[in-house]
Amino acid sequence: MDWKIAFEIAGLLGGVATVLAFFLGPALYLGAKIDSFHKDIQGEMKDFHTRLLKIEERNRGK
């Protein structure tokens, strides 16, 4: 195998890696953002539920 073919193969693999990074990078970033929002929403729901239980407990005593 001469060096010209080796450089062509390396260039081709570099191009494929660039295309994959270009398309997969944003998808992975958005997936992480969705997971983060999901955790935030779950935390807010738990907080709301806790506050609701405290209000119900306080109203039972009246």
The reported pLDDT for the residue numbered 3 is 86
61 phi, psi to nearest 5 deg: -75, -15
Cα separation, 37 vs 35, in Å, equals 5
Whole-structure pTM value: 0.54
Domain definitions of the chain by residue range:
24-62
Cα separation, 39 vs 29, in Å, equals 16
The reported pLDDT for the residue numbered 17 is 94
Q: Is the pLDDT of residue 1 over 80?
A: no
Q: Estimate to the nearest angstrom the gap between the alpha carbon of 26 and the chain centroid.
A: 10
Cα separation, 39 vs 36, in Å, equals 5
| pLDDT tens, residue by residue, 6-62 | 899 999 999 999 999 999 888 888 888 999 999 999 999 999 999 999 999 999 876
